[in-house]
């Protein structure tokens, strides 16, 4: 398995000054619209996690839902949505966080995960680490057996320290590091 696959790197679009000046937005939609790139990402994620006993994949709103649900199906695991406040219909737990251009909060259903689950938290991008760290805190409150964390892209070339912000205690993998 080749991480930092050149085909994927060549199909990743960057948009300067979006959503505000100074942010170089990495647009994963160009990876999702390409069938070969989508298949490569699915295969790489499957190879990384096929022997980990994953029972639930938690996808971050919204781009984390795409590959999160694909890998959940491939691993024969359930899929849990981590959403912005007020968008889940049943009882939720919430965690607030700071991201690269503001503050926000994330919620998951209280009954989404239990102590028998092995959880993979998945998002498209690791920049500052705020969203995924908040989701990890939520998942930990539900006491799963074990947690893993994955991103399609980790941005390190802009001085971002997302991995460091998350801290120790969880195995983190990324398919592309910039």
Compute the CA torsion angle 7, 10, 13, 16 (nearest 10 deg): 140
Selection from 61, 6, 79 nearest residue 37 by Cα: 6
CA–CA separation, 133 and 138 (whole Å): 9
Q: Of 63, 83, 95, 154, which is the active-site residue? A: 63
Would you call 42 a catalytic residue per the annotation? no
Would you call 83 a catalytic residue per the annotation? no
Q: Residue 137: exposed, middle, or buried by beta-carbon count in 10 A (0-12, 13-18, 19+)?
A: middle
Q: Detail the DSSP E strand segments found in 31-162.
A: 56-60, 78-82, 92-99, 102-109, 118-126, 146-154
Q: Of 61, 100, 156, 163, which is the active-site residue? A: 100
Question: Which residues are tagged catalytic?
Answer: 63, 100
């Amino acid at each position: 398995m080749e991480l930092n696959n050149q085909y994927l790197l060549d199909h990743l679009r960057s948009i300067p000054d979006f959503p505000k000046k100074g942010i170089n937005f990495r647009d994963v939609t160009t990876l999702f619209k390409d069938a070969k790139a989508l298949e490569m990402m699915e295969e790489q994620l499957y190879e990384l996690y096929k022997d980990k006993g994953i029972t639930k994949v938690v996808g971050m709103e919204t781009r984390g839902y795409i590959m999160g649900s694909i890998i959940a199906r491939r691993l024969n695991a359930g899929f849990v949505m981590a959403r912005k406040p007020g968008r889940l219909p049943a009882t939720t737990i919430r965690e607030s966080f700071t991201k690269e251009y503001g503050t926000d909060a994330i919620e998951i259903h209280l009954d989404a995960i239990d102590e028998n689950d092995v959880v993979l938290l998945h998002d498209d991008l690791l920049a500052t680490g705020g969203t995924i760290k908040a989701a990890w805190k939520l998942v930990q409150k539900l006491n799963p057996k074990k947690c893993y964390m994955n991103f399609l892209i980790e941005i390190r070339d802009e001085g971002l320290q997302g991995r460091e912000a998350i801290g120790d205690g969880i195995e983190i993998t990324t398919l592309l590091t910039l």
